[in-house]
Structures are given as structure tokens and as C-alpha cells.
Chain A
Amino acid sequence: MYYSESHNMLQMPEWLSEYLNGSHQHDEVEHHCGGDTRHWDDLFARLANLSEKDIHLRSNEIKRLLQDSGVTQADTQELNWRLDPLPLMLSEADWKIIKKGVSQRLKLFNLIADDLYGEQKLIHEGTISAAHLHASDEYTRECFSLSHKQVKVTLLAVDLYRDRQGQFRVLQDHIQKPQGLGLLLENRVIARRVMSDEFSECNVQRIADFFNRFQRCINDSTPGSLDPRVVVLSKGPEDVYYSEQAFLAAYMGYTLVRSADLTVRKGKVWLKSLKGLKKVDLIVRWMADSQLDSLEQNDYSIDGIPGLLHAYRSKNVELINPVGSGVLECPSVTSNIKTIADKWLQEPLILQESSIVAATDPAAETLHNDPSGFELYNYADSQFKLDGDSQAGQIQEALASNNHMYYFREKPEYSSAPFWDKQALVARPIKIRCFALASADGISVLPSALCLVAGKSETENWIKDTWVTSADPQHTSVIKRKSVPTMADLALLDGVIPSRTAENLFWLGRYLERGENTVRMLRLLIDRYTEFSVYPDSNNKKIVTRLVSAAVNQAIVFPYNKYQFVEDSLVSHIPREITANILCDNQHAGSLLNTIKALVNSALQVRDLLSADSWRMIDDIRDQIKRIERLPTGFSTRVMQAIADQVISSLMAFNGSIADVMADNNGWFMLDIGRRVERSTQLVQVSSALLTEQLSDTEQLNMLEAVLISQVSLITHKRRYRMYQSIETGLELLLLDAQYPRSLLYQLEHLDHLCQLLPSSKDNGRYEAHRKLLLKMRTLCHLAEAPQLAVAEQKNRIELNKAMQQIFQLLEQFSEVLTVQYFSHTKPAVSLNSNIGSIERSEV
């Protein structure tokens, strides 16, 4: 029955009726082989009140929310998820079949895994061909030496589609990395927000319970440990699913780690945290089987953790999903699952693949020449797929060599669903990814699915939330939190953060401060030279020359070189060009562009610690990077100023957004340490570059004013010293005032305070190396007197210069000591293999 025939189209808004009246062959709403489509009624009844514009607004709202959440972002490969405002509706009847089918599949998988890594009845009885299975990389021989047979799949993701007869069919299984759960959760959060009324009207089944079960299942998986530490292992921002993994980790309250954060010692897995090594009990891994252990496994993987498999073998750590579960994704297994269901469960397989035929089968003969409508698969290689319509030549080539490794599978004929694209609803083919969990209480299926556009582009993916309607009223309780705090919560409180995270926070702090300083310097330069070009006053000339010199040799911006006077700097260097370089020179490490790029990168590494609000600011900064990169040559000073303004507001907003969460005990103080180190460095360098030359009184005050402006201290200085302003008062305020929040000494005192939060190995009350360095610097400042620093010999303030250089070097050492002591547990690993064979032919 066509939806448009059974409903009064005149009651529908135009944007909807237009779609429904279109000619769809096989659509979820309009028609799927006479199937019931009443489950869309409630949704459409609600939507009837919405105009085209309303839908458009919601679509934009979603775009914004998705961007804020960061789910749409990945570092290297942009994977743009586009969440559609309209959900996919699934009837209760359809859901019953899916639920039963997915449960059955997970149950079968666990029986199969048990057998393949155990008795191998399936091979001995000839159900699965040994030649096919043994040739596949996913057949994990390491699993045979496990003392415990526990290749037990906990989480399964399976892609389904609806065929033309209205049956759901299996497209693909995801078991090593059941990706998409975080994305689904994120979608639901957003969809519920944007479509809140519709959501409650449609009686949609809730998903929170599934996640609670998942969490319980994780905690139950480590029975030996009362206080299990769970980590989520990700490949990092290079993985297109990184944001999703970070989201899921944050939602469930587990520490997100990368392989360099973990180490194996004495057969156990440890997290390299700021407070030393902490034992890890369970790893939720988003990494393939073959990449887990770079020592034991033959394919050397930089993401591997040397020794992990033996720790697993010794039952000292659990893995979800377990090692070796990838074999279940192999076509040699999945193509036979129907037979296995018949044999072992004595029941028909509920969710089947489309029909398959072995390449060696006489029935496939015609397909060799004309494979249209089919796809060619390799039993041993789950990645292999050739399209019969577009790759017939390659198919013949493949079959010519080794045809017993291949089989044909009928191409899926996806149903379509309406997507809101720009101004109208457009039909796109869809598949749905369902999730199931096997725990002690049995198998549960997530009552929703990730609805994805099937086939086509990998870079732009349209997704939908899937709503399973239910006749039973849904519980209104949102998310039932467990009564006992999860161990992961405790882990956060306990300040166990990976050293790498600490290091990234430290750098994030430095880049934030560096970005801010660069903008201020940029503004100052622009300001001074525009003034100078209008009023070429000789008093100003000296100052502008010195400023430009300091900018040219990068003494007042990173990398904070030693100041050198540049002859005729105003003639040979066009100030506009210098500022443009500071803004956007790719080659200049300290340019604003490179600084904020590095900043975004650091932020990405601590993605799971950032709130949505903080992330929005990072996102703005990304936009600004793009704008800077797209600037045409010869852009005006006005444009430069506008960009500088935007960047600094984003930086300030970001600072504001993290101010609340910067509790001392979860590592955020590392960001503050970074920020203060950077600020100190910069204060020291600016003072030595701009204030060490004695100038005439007027010039001196002008120069001091410039420096004070760059340090946001002009007003304080004026207020405090009124008519007594001099170089001495300037130095006093900027360097020696222990109570003024922008002074050097204040930074050093504060650093000392922050460093006490770092774990210490000294228990006899003595200072650690980094605090000793701080003590030296603080002492230098405390003992110094401003008038003495201001004394000049031959116009040169030797004392000031000397003090500044000393502190500069001490700051560098301080940064190095921190790195060695707290961050660098991650020396590069080198793989060694002894080689056989340097013998001479022996006479035997």
C-alpha cells in the first residue's frame, strides 16, 4: 500500500506531500512491498504543523549542535556526518524481527568463536573450509595459546538493509571494532533536543538502559578486581572515529587512552599516569586484532602495545571485544552462518545475507562472464569486494588465478528514506547499523540503530536517528544512574590522568598564552607603525625601529630569539609585511597561524576532557585557521586587525569556558603551568628586547607604554604610579611585584604553588629538581631592586639584561625537567629480530 494512497495528502504540508507523491520504487515511507507504514503516522501528524522553513531551521540547528559536539570532526580526514532532522521510523513488528535476528546472530557468533578457537568441529565436519579460514588474516593463531577459552564477543554491530520483498538482510558485521555506538548516542541526544515534541509523541523506545547494561557488563567482566580500572583504547585523532570514541569514553566515564599511554610490565598492563603506573583491568579497544601487540604479532604496528597478548593470556587484563573476534567477520564464516544455524540451533537463520554462490559452483558459470547485479567476495579477505557492474574486468582477472577463494553475492537493493537536503526532501538509499550486547544476563539489542546512507561517498555521510515505536508507554526516567559510583568516576577523582594527557594540557596552556601574546604584539606593531606613518615624529622613530627589529628577529614572539638591532629596519622591512608574516607565515614557527594550529592539535588530543562549550571555541579557531589560510596576498591592515580580534576573542572565550572545570585534581593545573611558563618566558624576553636600552625620557616613557600595552598593564601602571611613572616603576610592576597577576614574580610564585600538585618522589621534604629551578628564579626576583635594574652603563641596562637572560635559561631548563620527569615515559620503541643464518656450509 502506498502511503500517499492511504492518507489524505491535502492535510500534509507541501514539502512532505511532494516527497510522498514522488515515484519511489522501494522507500521506507512511501512503499515497501505492501508493508505497513502506519508507524510514520504519529511523526507526520506532528510534522504537519511545520513549514518548510521550520524544517530548514531545525536542520541548521542540528548542524550547529553536531559541530559543537565535535562528532563531525576528525583531524586528518574530515568525516562530515550530517544528521538529518527526520528520524527513520521502525514499526514494532519490524523491530521484533530485527531484535530476534540480531540476538540470534550474536549467539551464533559466540558459539562459532568458541569452536574455531577450540575443537574446530566446524572445520572437521567441513562446514567451514580450512583453506579459506587459514588464509585469512583475521584467523588469530595467538588465541590458541590462551589458557582460557574466552573469545566471547561482548558487543556486536551489524549493518542491515531492507530488500525489495520487505525482508531485512545482513550487509556486514563489525566485531573487532563495533564503531558507531558513540555516534548513535550523540545523534539521539541531538535529535531529542531538536525534535523533542515529536520524540515524546511517538512513544520511542529509550536507549539509556542499553548503555547502563554495557557499563555493568564491563564492570562485571573483571570479577577479580574490586576497583577495576577501565580504559578506552583509541588510535587517536588520526582515526576518523576518534571523536566518537572520545564521546563514548566521556559518557561512560572511562579514561580515553592511546597505546603509548599503556605499558606492559611483569605481565600486567599499566597506565602511565602523572602519578606513576596504575594497573589497567579492562581495555575497550577500537583497534584491529592484528595491531594489538607489536612484540608478539608479526605485523609490526606502531599502535601496538608490546606484551599485551601475554598479559591477556595470563588473565591480567580483559579486552572488549576479545582478541581473535575478527575471525567472525570473515566471509568464510559469515557465508556459512546459515548452515551453522540449522545445524546447531535447529532453527532457520532470521537475518540472512542476499543469495550467494561459490565461484566454482556450476551455477556461477554465467556470472563469470556477466557478473552484473552481483558482487565478488573473497572467503579469506573481509576487505575484498568487486562490483559486478563496474569491475567485471577485475572480477575475471581475480577468478582466473584462484577461483576457489571467491564467491558471488547478489548486490543489495537498498530501500530509500527521505533526507532534508537544502530545500526539499530527497530519497537516499539507507542501511541501518544495529548493536547487541552479550552479558551475563543474556543478549540485549539496542532499541535503535544508526541509519546511514548506503554506498557512495565516504567523506560525506548522511545519518539519521532511528526511532523504534512502541505500543507500551516508555519510562520517563531519563538516564538511571547507578547508585554506586563507577570505578571510572573514582579514577577521575583520583587524578589518574595519562602522562600524555598531562603533556597535552601543558602545551595547550602554552599555546593559548602564546596565541594571546602574538595577537597583542601584532596589534601593537600595527598600532605603532600606523601612528608613525601618519605622524613621523622622531621620538617615535626610535621606538618603531626597535619594535620592528624585535619583530623581525622574533625576539618578542616565539621562538623568542635574542634581540638584535636591525639596521634600517624601517627601510628594508616594510612593517606591513612583517606583521603579515607574524600573522600567517607558514614557515615561521611562532606565527599566529602556526600557534593556533598547534593549539587545535593539542585540544584535539584532550578531546574527551573538553566540554561542548569549550569545543565550540576550538571549532571557531579552526574556522579562523581556514580563513587565514585563504587570505589573498596583499590583504589590508584592517583585515589583519579583524582576524586578530576574532582570534583573541575565541581564545578568551575558551579560557572562560575552562575556568570552571579547571579543578586542581584532574590534571587541568597542567594547563595553568603551561600558560605561566609561557607568560614568564615572554615577559622576560620582551623586557630584555625592548627595555634594556636607555632612551631619552620621552622616548623611554613611550617605549614603556608600548610594553605595558602589550602586557595589558598600562592602566594599572598609570593608576598606581600616576605622575611618578618611570622605567623603574614599569620594571617594578612587570617583573618584581609578587601580588600583581601579570608580573613575572607572580607567575613564578604561582608556578611553585602549582608544582606542589605534581606527584613527588621525595618524602624527606626536599625540593625536586623543577622546584629548585623555580626557587632560583624566585630568589633572583625577590633580591632584585627596580632602581638597580634600571641603571645603565653606556645606555645599556646590563643588570636587567643579565637577570632576564638567567631567568630565560632557567625557564627553559624548568620546561625540560618537567618533560623528562612527568611526560616522557614514551620513548620510541624499536623492534629487534635476531636473524638466522650466518653459517658456512658445513661438511656433514
Chain B
Amino acid sequence: MKYKVKHTTHYQYSEAVSLCQNQARLKPISNQRQTCLSHCIRTQPEADYLDYFIDYFGNQATVFEISTQHDELIVTAESEVEIFEFRERQLFLSEEAWESVALKIQLADTPELLSTIEFAQASEFTPVSADIHAYACQSFLPGRALISATKDLMARIFNDFQYESGFTTISTPLSEVFAHKKGVCQDFAHFALACLRSLGIPGRYVSGYIETLPPEGQEKLEGADATHAWFAVYVPDLGWVDFDPTNNVMPETQHITLAVGRDFADVTPLKGIVFGGGMHQLSVAVDMNRIEE
């Protein structure tokens, strides 16, 4: 499946900005699930400096600077991505119990296992608590296979938590998300990761896009697709397997991965420091269209 994605971020400022410096993680990563065929970032006003580097987690970070005075900034990222057919059959090959995986991580001795250790550690956005551990344990029953337990956890989050945009912000602590059982995809991904990490299982945060389909008979609206976030769990011998608790699905061909990290802080799609600017308004629009079945 091939997609063309257009991701537009629009900032409007109440006062003029004299200089802004930014880092974007808007180029879809290439991995075993997908390949990024082409990618470009445009800004308006035009950036007078643009460079990129590959970060610790393998994501491409784009660095740009705008020194033209402006009160509006538009960042447009366009990419073409091919998603490979999902090898679901392989999943059934892994019936490894979650305790055995946790133990492997604890006794890690291969470079691959060693590299997953930091994903099993609590992070700023995924603090581990006794409550969260208890919640996780209801899915992670003794002896249960890792994949089946994770599926169960995903389903419980989907059912127990209510999707409500605007209830949380990036600074809402996870404990509050848990207490009210409300939030957005980002909160659910963080919560699921905290659950996994409370058990010593490596999980990583995934930022990306999800394709939405219009109700039957209607035209798809422009900008209707969305930036999205979910998580992946590490399964020995298989690698990272994705789970989307917001939709209770295991991403197949409708999820495009942008970047991966320990939590949101590692993959923030666009961050910046502006000089001036006053108050700002932000709007994001994503268009994700199939160019080849």
C-alpha cells in the first residue's frame, strides 16, 4: 500500500516573531513495516537555514531557522510511504510468556536485548506507580503469552478510557489521566507504556498518522486525517509489534509511523523556540491519500 501524506502545521502569533528555531520529526521512519519513498519540508516564510540529522532512536530530525519577521508560520511536510503487508502469521509463532520476556530483558546479554532495556524503564511521561502496576497485572496474568496479554491490555484501555480531546494537555500527569480515565491517543499510549514498564517489558512510543475513511457515499474531507500516537511492544525474535489502544487495533496498513522513542518527548513532531510572538494559535491538518493499493 502506498500513501501520500501532507501534514500542515500552522502557527498564528499575536505579535511579530523576529526569529524562530525549530526541530521537526516529520519524516516517516523506514523500518520493517514501511519505507519512506520521498519526503520534503517547506516553510512559509522560507527557512534561511535547513539541515537534518538522525537521532539516537533512528528518527530523522529536521533543523530549521527562520529569521524573516513573521506573525504566521506554516510548516508543510509531504511524504510518500509504502507500507508492507503485515506478517500476522508470525505473531502466532511467538507464544512466549511475558514473564520469560521480562526475565530475558533483565538478564540481557545480546546487543539487541541490551538496546531494549531503556524502553523498559519509566520515563518522564510514563511514571510507574503501584496503581498502574495493579491495572497491568489484570491483563498480564501469570504464564500468559506476551502478545495476548498486550492485546488484552489494549482492549481494556479502549473500553475503560474515554476519548475526549481537550481534557488533557501535554502537561497533564498520567495519574490524572488514569484517575479520570479520559484523554487522547497520546495519553493512552503513555498509559499503556507505563503498564508495560511496570512489569519490566520494553515498550516504545510511536508517533504517526492514521487514515480515516469517510462514511459510505461521502467524499473524504480535506485535512480530515490526523496525527496519531500508539505504542509498540518488544517481542524477542520478532522485534517491535505495534498496538493502537485508541482504536483497539494492531496497526496494519492504515497507520504510518513518523518516529519512535521512549515517550512523546523523544518524538515531538515540531518544537521550536521563538523570540517575540506573544500568544499563539496552532492548527494541524493531515491529508493521507492512497496512491497505490
Contact residues of A with B, CB < 8 Å? 120, 123-124, 126, 130-131, 134-135, 141-142, 144-145, 147, 263-267, 294-296, 298, 306-307, 310, 313-314, 827-844
Whether the pair B284, A834 counts as a contact (CB closer than 8 A) is yes
B126 at interface (Cβ–Cβ under 8 A)? no
A56 to B249, CA, bound (A): 81
Q: Across the interface, which residues of B come within 8 angstroms of A142, CB to CB? A: 55-56
Whether the pair B276, A837 counts as a contact (CB closer than 8 A) is no
- Residue from B56, B63, B210 within 8 A of A839 (CB atoms): B210
Q: Across the interface, which residues of A come within 8 angstroms of B275, CB to CB? A: 827-830
A120 to B115, CA, bound (A): 11
A130-B114, A827-B276, A839-B210 as given contacts; A844 in contact with B51, CB under 8 Å: no
B19, B53, B170, B254: most-surrounded residue (chain A CB, <10 A): B53
Encode contact with A along B190-204: 1 for CB under 8 Å, 0 otherwise.
000000000000000
Q: Across the interface, which residues of B come within 8 angstroms of A134, CB to CB? A: 117-118, 121
Min C-beta distance of A139 to chain B, whole Å:
9
Encode contact with A along B263-278: 1 for CB under 8 Å, 0 otherwise.
0111011111111110
B84 at interface (Cβ–Cβ under 8 A)? no
Interface size on B, residues (CB 8 A): 66
Whether the pair A836, B269 counts as a contact (CB closer than 8 A) is yes
Whether the pair A842, B186 counts as a contact (CB closer than 8 A) is no
A134 to B229, CA, bound (A): 24
- Taking CB atoms and an 8 Å cut-off, the chain B residues in 44-64 that contact chain A are 48-49, 51, 53-57, 61, 63
A130-B117, A145-B53, A837-B184 as given contacts; A295 in contact with B111, CB under 8 Å: no
Min C-beta distance of A736 to chain B, whole Å:
42
Min C-beta distance of A692 to chain B, whole Å:
41
Q: Across the interface, which residues of B come within 8 angstroms of A835, CB to CB? A: 169-170, 186, 282
The chain A residue with its CB closest to the CB of B55 is A145
Whether the pair A830, B273 counts as a contact (CB closer than 8 A) is yes
Min C-beta distance of B70 to chain A, whole Å:
14
Q: Across the interface, which residues of B come within 8 angstroms of A295, CB to CB? A: 21-23, 271-273
B9 at interface (Cβ–Cβ under 8 A)? yes
Show 23 A/B contacts (Cβ-Cβ < 8 Å), sorted by A. Answer: A126-B109, A130-B114, A130-B117, A131-B117, A145-B54, A265-B49, A266-B65, A295-B21, A306-B21, A310-B23, A310-B53, A310-B63, A830-B277, A832-B273, A832-B280, A832-B282, A834-B282, A835-B282, A836-B185, A837-B184, A838-B226, A841-B247, A844-B211
- Residue from A126, A294, A298 within 8 A of B265 (CB atoms): A298
Whether the pair B118, A837 counts as a contact (CB closer than 8 A) is no
The chain A residue with its CB closest to the CB of B17 is A830
Q: Across the interface, which residues of B come within 8 angstroms of A836, CB to CB? A: 184-186, 207, 227-229, 264, 269
A313 to B56, CA, bound (A): 13
A839-B227, A840-B163 as given contacts; A314 in contact with B121, CB under 8 Å: no
Q: Across the interface, which residues of B come within 8 angstroms of A827, CB to CB? A: 18, 275-276
Min C-beta distance of A748 to chain B, whole Å:
32
Whether the pair B114, A266 counts as a contact (CB closer than 8 A) is no
The 6 A-B pairs at the shortest CB distance, nearest first, are namely A839-B226, A837-B184, A134-B118, A141-B56, A306-B273, A266-B49
Min C-beta distance of A654 to chain B, whole Å:
35
B37 at interface (Cβ–Cβ under 8 A)? no
A288 to B30, CA, bound (A): 34
Min C-beta distance of B3 to chain A, whole Å:
14
Encode contact with A along B16-37: 1 for CB under 8 Å, 0 otherwise.
0011011100000000000000
Q: Across the interface, which residues of B come within 8 angstroms of A145, CB to CB? A: 53-56, 61
A543 to B186, CA, bound (A): 74
A130-B108, A841-B247, A843-B213 as given contacts; A834 in contact with B268, CB under 8 Å: yes
A656 to B169, CA, bound (A): 58
A123 to B109, CA, bound (A): 9
The chain B residue with its CB closest to the CB of A296 is B23
The chain A residue with its CB closest to the CB of B109 is A126
A134 to B121, CA, bound (A): 8
Q: Across the interface, which residues of A come within 8 angstroms of B271, CB to CB? A: 295, 831-834
A134-B117, A310-B53, A842-B212 as given contacts; A833 in contact with B249, CB under 8 Å: no
Known: A120-B114, A833-B271. 5 other contacts (CB 8 A): A295-B21, A310-B23, A838-B284, A844-B211, A844-B254
B67 at interface (Cβ–Cβ under 8 A)? yes
B160 at interface (Cβ–Cβ under 8 A)? no
The chain B residue with its CB closest to the CB of A129 is B117
Whether the pair A829, B56 counts as a contact (CB closer than 8 A) is no
- Residue from B21, B48, B51, B270 within 8 A of A314 (CB atoms): B51
Whether the pair A123, B51 counts as a contact (CB closer than 8 A) is no
Min C-beta distance of A827 to chain B, whole Å:
4
Encode contact with A along B162-199: 1 for CB under 8 Å, 0 otherwise.
01011001100000000000001111000000000000
- Residue from A263, A267, A829 within 8 A of B51 (CB atoms): A267
A307-B63, A834-B270, A836-B269 as given contacts; A130 in contact with B21, CB under 8 Å: no
A841 to B170, CA, bound (A): 19
Whether the pair B273, A831 counts as a contact (CB closer than 8 A) is yes
The chain B residue with its CB closest to the CB of A135 is B121
Whether the pair B63, A837 counts as a contact (CB closer than 8 A) is no
Min C-beta distance of A796 to chain B, whole Å:
44
The chain A residue with its CB closest to the CB of B120 is A131
Whether the pair A265, B67 counts as a contact (CB closer than 8 A) is yes
B131 at interface (Cβ–Cβ under 8 A)? no
Min C-beta distance of B5 to chain A, whole Å:
14
Q: Across the interface, which residues of A come within 8 angstroms of B249, CB to CB? A: 844
- Taking CB atoms and an 8 Å cut-off, the chain B residues in 242-256 that contact chain A are 246-247, 249, 254
Q: Across the interface, which residues of A come within 8 angstroms of B65, CB to CB? A: 264-266, 307
B124 at interface (Cβ–Cβ under 8 A)? yes
Q: Across the interface, which residues of A come within 8 angstroms of B86, CB to CB? A: none
The chain A residue with its CB closest to the CB of B276 is A827
A265-B49, A266-B48, A844-B249 as given contacts; A834 in contact with B9, CB under 8 Å: yes
Q: Across the interface, which residues of A come within 8 angstroms of B186, CB to CB? A: 835-837
A265-B65, A837-B227, A837-B229 as given contacts; A829 in contact with B273, CB under 8 Å: yes
Q: Across the interface, which residues of A come within 8 angstroms of B109, CB to CB? A: 126
Whether the pair B21, A264 counts as a contact (CB closer than 8 A) is yes
